[in-house]
Amino acid sequence: MGEYKIAVIQGDGIGPEVTQEAVRVLKAIGEKYNHKFTFQYALAGGCAIDAKGECLPKETLAVCKASDSVMLGAVGGPKWDNVPNAQRPEKALLGLRSELGLFSNLRPAKIYDALADACPLKAEIVAGGLDILIVRELTGGIYFGERGYREGKYGEEAYDVETYSETEIARILKNAFAVAMQRNKKVCCVDKANVLETSRLWRKVAEKMKGDYPEVALSYMYVDNAAMQLVRNPKQFDVIVTSNMFGDILSDEASMITGSIGLLPSASFGEGSFGMYEPIHGSAPDIAGENKANPIAAILSAAMMLKYSFHLEEEARSIENAVKAVLGEDMRTPDIYSEGMTLLGTKEMGESILKHI
């Protein structure tokens, strides 16, 4: 019997609704496989501003740090558009990543057979399915480098500096190699080594490390080519590892290829197995409280938690198979519904998935 403490940050908008379904699924997994999941709830985002006057209260960080993993709903919404920038709900995400040392982001892009028609690519390109995992460096690079304004050749100019250390690169590559060992054992390092010195350092570090993972096939690809290959021949990829900015762009491209952005989970890691898990969709305040939100991304985020933080692969597969089964029965929430299918609300979709666990 395993015992696991999970911090739950439901967040704003549809966050509480989808997170509730993920918690129900985890409880069912606990009963079936004899695990004990303890859930402790904490506030972050707009709801924390309303209740505590700040987007990321200290007590929330304390709850997260005392847990084995964190489940996050979604934060933000127009209600808080006029909050000072330093306290905007979205700042809670940056604060959580920084305070919890989460430097590695995992974003899967997967096409389910039942939803293949939603993919914008030609059927022959994705025939047989698609399953890519993008590992993005999260706390370094150009987003966190030196920046400012100065006088230049043509007057005032702005600058943002891309900086990476060997340590930062090695730790994200280690995560990429590790998850590749749980998949098809292929890693593609995406960079711009023909132009950028930082990219050349990425390749240098990767070459040093590849001997530690002899079963993993390592390749390199320039980011412009990778962007093209994702729509031309996406099935060539297994794990893509890349820098903060490149990963930001490519992970969004890959998620749109699936045609079902409401179904995609994500995970953020630091050292060890501690992680924060969240759907990639936003808070969707326009449908909050209406039982219309799709909980599948949150539920699949829980499956990622079982797999990557708790190393419970059979239990994770149980959730993934339940989702596949429900989609195969043409059960749909409004975002993926089409004529002739069974329309379900948030709670009803959660209940349908529970029946298959």
Tokens of 301: 């985020």
CA distances (Å), 161 to each of 22, 142, 164, 204, 245, in order? 40, 5, 10, 20, 12
Of 224, 286, 330, 355, the catalytic one is: 224
Of 143, 220, 222, 337, the catalytic one is: 143
Cα–Cα dist 321/264, whole Å: 15
Is 248 catalytic? The answer is yes
CA distances (Å), 56 to each of 49, 62, 95, 186, in order? 8, 11, 7, 38
CA distances (Å), 57 to each of 94, 180, 200, 235, in order? 13, 36, 40, 43
Q: Under a CB-based contact definition with an 8 Å cutoff, are residues 87 and 49 in contact?
A: yes
Cα–Cα dist 309/200, whole Å: 31
Q: Under a CB-based contact definition with an 8 Å cutoff, are residues 36 and 5 in contact?
A: no
Burial of 191 (0-12, 13-18, 19+ CB in 10 A): buried
- The one-letter amino acid code at 15 reads G
Cα–Cα dist 17/294, whole Å: 9
The residue assigned the tokens 């949150």 is: 298
Of 12, 68, 191, 248, the catalytic one is: 248
The residue assigned the tokens 């992970």 is: 251
Tokens of 167: 């340590």
Of 110, 192, 292, 307, the catalytic one is: 192
Q: What residues are paired with 269 via a beta bridge?
A: 104, 275
Q: Under a CB-based contact definition with an 8 Å cutoff, are residues 269 and 106 in contact?
A: yes
Is 252 catalytic? The answer is yes
Is 192 catalytic? The answer is yes
Catalytic residues: 143, 192, 224, 248, 252
